[in-house]
Amino acid sequence: MSGSYPDEQNRDAARGRAFKALGEAHEDWGSGLGAPDRDGYRSTIALGIAGARKMSGRMTRGSGTFAERIAVLRERLAEADAVVIGAGAGLSTSAGFTYSGERFEAYFADFSQAFGFRDMYSGGFYPFPDDETRWAFWVRNIYINRYVDPPEPVYRELLGLVKDRDHFVITTNVDHQFRRAGFAKSRLFYTQGDYGLFQSTDPSMRETWDNEAWVMRAMESQGFVRDAGGVFRAPAGGFGPADGSPDGAPAVSMRIPAELIPTAPDGGPVTMNLRADDTFVEDAGWHRASAAYADYLAAHEGKKVLLLELGVGANTPVIIKYPFWAMTLENDNTCYACINRGQAFCPAEIADRSVCIDGDIGEVLELLG
């Protein structure tokens, strides 16, 4: 593994073994062609698992200097007939969507002091005392991770790179930042849901509902105020006592009114439309996007396709990473590129048509632009 340190080699070897073991454990999975009609999600997952059985599990981080790899990727981008972007959490992290630190404190300092957690992720698992408090936490989480632009222009830089090229995006991110940056809805497939949608906790109700109007009302009900740019912020006094409050009541409440607790059309409870288990609702829009992904791949079969993987980690590699590897193995005109800080590697079998760049996605995109 050229250019790798021993600890990287050990991690990559473990990932290779996991990849190979997945294929061996699912020998009953076919090439993906037997998946439901035009189901890009399940057919490509099956393709990735089938591909694992054809590869050794040996991983490489490639060769060449950082500058040389940038040059290779720029050349492959220019030669491509189509670009399929596969985006994971690392892309939003590069854009500044961090779950702790300054961004967390700006919206959750009161929750942190009251309940002891130090990041949004941990807060998502906290057993809050009542629904009013639980939904007060979640509306802030939804708001800043779905309805606010990221601190860094990484998504817009990515759009600038591909807007004049034939492209499609598959992503496990649920923050809607591709649409906010200007990517066309018809070219997007959000596989794991959307912070901007609610679904019923009753799995028999296979619908979703837009939550934007509710989010704005619930943010305002807690005491957040809009700044000159229309973004909700804590009031000037922060999370301390409200000015002129005789009883020292905080300026920002950690509860929403009971009447604002969201419900489904039948009056039942709701949850976010996020894939956590088999109760996740794949609504009509989800199925249209899955079919569009399948159609796009079929329409470009045999052409020069660049599979551009951005920030995909180890949590859900079966959705993007493994299928991308398998598609590269199966098609001589397909090239694979991976940009990911600390996790840029590929199977040895496709190394000659791959470029792995270990670095910040935003910085790399800027160099490519």
Give the chain's domains with CATH numbers.
Answer: 6-93+155-179+287-368 (3.40.50.1220), 98-149+212-261 (no CATH)
Whole-angstrom distance, CA of residue 117 vs CA of residue 113: 8
> In angstroms, what is the C-alpha Rg of the chain?
22
Work out the average pLDDT over 19-41. Answer: 63
If you average pLDDT over every residue of the chain, what do you get? 91
pLDDT in tens, 230-257: 999 999 888 877 665 655 578 999 999 9
- % of the chain beyond a pLDDT of 90: 82
Which stretch of DSSP H or E encloses residue 357?
strand 354-357
Work out the average pLDDT over 110-123. Answer: 96
pLDDT of residue 236: 86
- % of the chain beyond a pLDDT of 70: 89
At 1, the pLDDT band (50, 70, 90 cuts) reads: very low
Whole-angstrom distance, CA of residue 132 vs CA of residue 358: 43
SS (H, E, C) the chain: CCCCCHHHHHHHHHHHHHHHHHHHHCCCCCCCCCCCCCCHHHHHHHHHHHHHCCCCCCEECCCCCHHHHHHHHHHHHHHCCEEEEEECHHHHHHCCCCCECHHHHHHHHHHHHHHCCCEHHHHCCCCCCCHHHHHHHHHHHHHHHHCCCCCCCHHHHHHHHHCCCCEEEEECCCCCHHHHHCCCHHHEEECCEEEEEEEECCCCCCCEEECHHHHHHHHHHHCCEECCCCCEECCCCCCCECCCCCCCCECCCCCCCHHHCCECCCCCEEEEEECCCCCCCCCHHHHHHHHHHHHHHHHCCCCCEEEEEECCCCCCCCCCHHHHHHHHHHCCCEEEEEECCCCCCEEHHHHHHEEEECCCHHHHHHHHC
Q: Which of the two residues, 34 and 368, has the higher pLDDT score?
A: 368
Assess contact for 154 and 361: CB atoms under 8 A.
yes
The sign of the dihedral angle between the CA atoms of 138, 169, 17, 9 is: negative
Q: CB count, 10 Å around CB of 186?
A: 10
Assess contact for 312 and 86: CB atoms under 8 A.
yes
- pTM for this prediction: 0.91
pLDDT of residue 35: 52
- Is residue 78 over pLDDT 60? yes
- Is residue 29 over pLDDT 70? no
Work out the average pLDDT over 182-204. Answer: 96
pLDDT of residue 32: 47
DSSP at 242: P
